[in-house]
Amino acid sequence: MRITDLEVVPIAFRDPPLLNSSGVHEPLALRCVLRLHTEDGVVGLSEGPGDRASLDRLAAVRESVRGMSVFATTLIARAVDAALPGAREVDRAAAFSLIEVACLDVQGKVLGLPVSELLGGRVRDAVPYAAYLFYKWAGHPGEADDEWGEALDPDGIVRQARRMIDAYGFGSIKLKGGVFPPEQEIAAIRALRAAFPEHPLRIDPNCAWTPETGRRVAEELDGVLEYLEDPSPGVDGMAAVARAAGMPLASNMCVHSFGTLAPAVARGAVHVVLSDHHYWGGLRRTQHLATLCEAFGLGLSMHSNSHLGISLAAMTHLAASIPHLGYACDTHYPWNAADDVVVPGALRFEDGAVPVPTGPGLGVELDEAALARLHRAYTESGRQVRDDTGYMRRFRPDFDPALPRW
Ligand code: GKR
Ligand code: MG
* pLDDT at position 314: 99
Query: CATH topology for 117-355?
Result: TIM Barrel (3.20.20)
Query: Ligand 1 in contact with 176 (CB < 6 A)?
Result: yes
Q: Which residues of the chain have pLDDT under 70?
A: none
Model pLDDT for residues 99-149, shown as the tens digit of each residue: 999 999 999 999 999 999 999 999 999 999 999 999 999 999 999 999 999
**Do residues 286 and 317 touch, judged by C-beta distance below 8 A?**
no
Residues within 5 A (CB) of ion ligand 2: 204, 229, 252
* pLDDT at position 38: 98
| CA 341 to ligand 1 centroid distance, Å | 21
Query: Ligand 1 in contact with 20 (CB < 6 A)?
Result: yes
Q: What are phi and psi of 300, to 5 degrees?
A: -135, 130
> Distance between terminal CA atoms of the chain?
54
* pLDDT at position 239: 98
DSSP reduced 3-state for 66: coil
Q: What are phi and psi of 213, to 5 degrees?
A: -65, -40
Domains 3-112+368-380 and 117-355 share a fold: no
Closest-CA residue, ligand 1 atom 4, reads: 305
What's the CATH number of domain 3-112+368-380, 3.40.50.300, 3.30.70.1400, 1.20.210.10, 3.30.390.10? Answer: 3.30.390.10
Separation between Cα atoms, residue 66 and residue 63, nearest integer Å: 5
Q: Quick one: CA torsion of 163, 169, 173, 175, rounded to 10 degrees?
A: -30
Is 303 a residue of the active site?
yes
Q: Per residue in 252-282, is it b (16+ CB within 10 Å) or e — as a string? A: bbbbbbbebbeebbebebbbbbbbbbbbbbb
Q: Which of 25, 199, 303, 317 is catalytic?
A: 303
Q: What average pLDDT does the chain have?
A: 98
Model pLDDT for residues 36-68, shown as the tens digit of each residue: 999 999 999 999 999 999 999 999 999 999 999
- Proximal ligand: closest to the CA of 272: 2
- Segments making up each domain of the chain, as ranges: 3-112+368-380, 117-355
| CA-based nearest residue to 283, from 11, 17, 47 | 47
404 CB-contact burial (10 Å; exposed 0-12 / middle 13-18 / buried 19+)? buried
% of residues, the chain, pLDDT over 70: 100
CA distances from 264 to 160, 227, 238, 294, 369 (A): 34, 16, 9, 15, 45
% of residues, the chain, pLDDT over 90: 100
CA distances from 100 to 32, 70, 71, 104, 108 (A): 15, 8, 9, 6, 12
| CA-based nearest residue to 192, from 149, 226, 167, 229 | 226
Q: What are phi and psi of 41, to 5 degrees?
A: 85, 0
| CA 261 to ligand 1 centroid distance, Å | 20
* pLDDT at position 216: 98
CA distances from 382 to 11, 12, 377 (A): 11, 10, 9
- What strands, in cross-sheet order, belong to the sheet with 173-176? 131-134, 173-176, 201-204, 225-229, 249-251, 272-275, 299-302
The minimum-distance atom of ligand 1 relative to the CA of 388 is: 2
